[in-house]
Amino acid sequence: MTTGTSRTTTGTGRTAAGTPEPTRADGADQAEDAGQAGCADAAERADQAARADRVRGCLLGGALGDALGWPVEFQRLERILDRHGPEGVRSLAFAPGGLAEVTDDTQMTLFTAEGLLQAGEATSAAVLPAVHAAYRRWLRTQCEAVPQPDATGLLAEAWLYASRAPGNACLSGLEAHVTPPAALPVALGRRGPVNPDSKGCGTVMRSAPFGLLGLGPDRAFRLAADCAQLTHGHPTGALAAGAFAALVDRLVGGAEPRAAVVATIAQTAGLPGAEETVADLERAVRIADEGVPDFDAVERVGLGWIAEECLAIGVHGLLAAAETGPRRALTLSVTHSGDSDSTGSVCGNLLGAAYGAAALPQDWLDQIEGTETLLRIADLLVATSSRP
């Protein structure tokens, strides 16, 4: 993909033939310049390595939150605490195969990434059909039992052919249209033609990859919002997805979490139809500012079935992590009466984007399915991105 944000790398120090012999002072200056160039190269490599770790962390963290929340997705808080104890969900549930399962949140996130990688360029005209085609491939994994013999890419990965409570609007919106409706994308704040009243969290939980290409917050926002309309027509579904992608972009770019949240709220507030999304983001910040977070605080942020609440719970967890660390923040993001796997997934995306894969609980990462694929796709996104 051409992202159009190439940054010039540090010069290679080539010497032109026939250059006069330098004086001692010139030589000292050149040595100093060369030393500074070497330092700049080393600093840039360190920046790139840190960014790559955050991209990996974003995808791995999302899968972790998804796997942690999936077993309690439809349980009330009291029942979760009865079963898991007063500290909430602190362990993964294992499938017969021995690993903890991820769900449609992680599956669709991977297909979003595959669509972006195949789009060729980061424009809505290129991305909308490519991501739609990728989501239609995901739809096949929900309808077919195993890969076809000639399957390629993610469609060839048998572990993705699992149907674990996928969202109705995602399924129906993709079933209804073989290609993106001609009316898409509609302007922000306007109602789209696909499931026009839906603003389920399916638009948010799959949209982290829009923020992983180094496009900058405005372009990440716009592409995520446009692609949200492929399945959900309510304006808030698009705006919450856009805000999520813009926040991921800022975090992966190295912004401090609270500053990134504040900037994303300001960005979103300037857009038409953003009232619901901004109100929920501001509530998440306010409740995070109250002090040591608990499960009741999370439920006051929301339950996560709808897009803006799902994003808000993720943001609350991101801000809480400054006090609690990522492990406790993940527990908080899933231990509630709402859509635990999606809120866990979004929170995990944000935590990984902010703090990197190295900061995520390694014992949990060792126990979830799909990590090889997640890492491979993360590294392809890093290679495609041109912003360190």
Binding site for Mg ion (CB under 5 A): 103-105, 341
Smallest gap from Cβ 151 to Mg ion, in A, equals 23
Cβ closest to Mg ion, residue 101 vs residue 105 = 105
Cβ closest to Mg ion, residue 134 vs residue 188 = 134
The owner of tokens 């969290």 is: 201
**Exposed / middle / buried, residue 270 (Cβ in 10 Å: 0-12, 13-18, 19+):** exposed
Q: Count the Cβ atoms, other than its own, within 10 Å of residue 193.
A: 15
For residues 212 and 281, what is the distance between their CA atoms, to the nearest angstrom?
Answer: 21
- Which residue's Cβ has the minimum distance to Mg ion? 103
Smallest gap from Cβ 111 to Mg ion, in A, equals 14
Cβ closest to Mg ion, residue 66 vs residue 114 = 66
Q: Is 379 annotated as a binding residue?
A: no
For residues 71 and 82, what is the distance between their CA atoms, to the nearest angstrom?
Answer: 14
Which tokens belong to 107?
A: 């599956």
For residues 335 and 114, what is the distance between their CA atoms, to the nearest angstrom?
Answer: 31
Q: Is 105 annotated as a binding residue?
A: yes
Cβ closest to Mg ion, residue 103 vs residue 203 = 103
SS3 content of the chain, % helix, strand, coil (to 5): 65, 0, 35
Query: How distant, in Å, are the alpha carbons of 163, 180, 207, 281 from that of 140?
Result: 10, 17, 19, 34
Smallest gap from Cβ 45 to Mg ion, in A, equals 37
Cβ closest to Mg ion, residue 103 vs residue 236 = 103
Q: Is 197 annotated as a binding residue?
A: no
Which tokens belong to 177?
A: 């249209």
275-288 vs 307-324: helix axis angle to the nearest 10? 20
Smallest gap from Cβ 165 to Mg ion, in A, equals 6
**Which backbone phi and psi does 197 adopt, to 5 degrees?**
-100, 0
Cβ closest to Mg ion, residue 127 vs residue 313 = 313
For residues 152 and 368, what is the distance between their CA atoms, to the nearest angstrom?
Answer: 23
Smallest gap from Cβ 181 to Mg ion, in A, equals 25
For residues 326 and 329, what is the distance between their CA atoms, to the nearest angstrom?
Answer: 5
Q: Is 341 annotated as a binding residue?
A: yes
Query: How distant, in Å, are the alpha carbons of 125, 174, 216, 375 from that of 208?
Result: 20, 19, 13, 14
Cβ closest to Mg ion, residue 101 vs residue 104 = 104
Residue 360: alpha-carbon gap to chain centroid: 15
Smallest gap from Cβ 229 to Mg ion, in A, equals 20
Smallest gap from Cβ 280 to Mg ion, in A, equals 20
Cβ closest to Mg ion, residue 114 vs residue 339 = 339
For residue 196, the one-letter residue type is P
Smallest gap from Cβ 199 to Mg ion, in A, equals 17
For residues 162 and 102, what is the distance between their CA atoms, to the nearest angstrom?
Answer: 9
**Which backbone phi and psi does 306 adopt, to 5 degrees?**
-105, 160
Residues contributing to the annotated binding site: 103-105, 339, 341-342
Q: Residues annotated as binding site for Mg(2+)?
A: 103-105, 339, 341-342
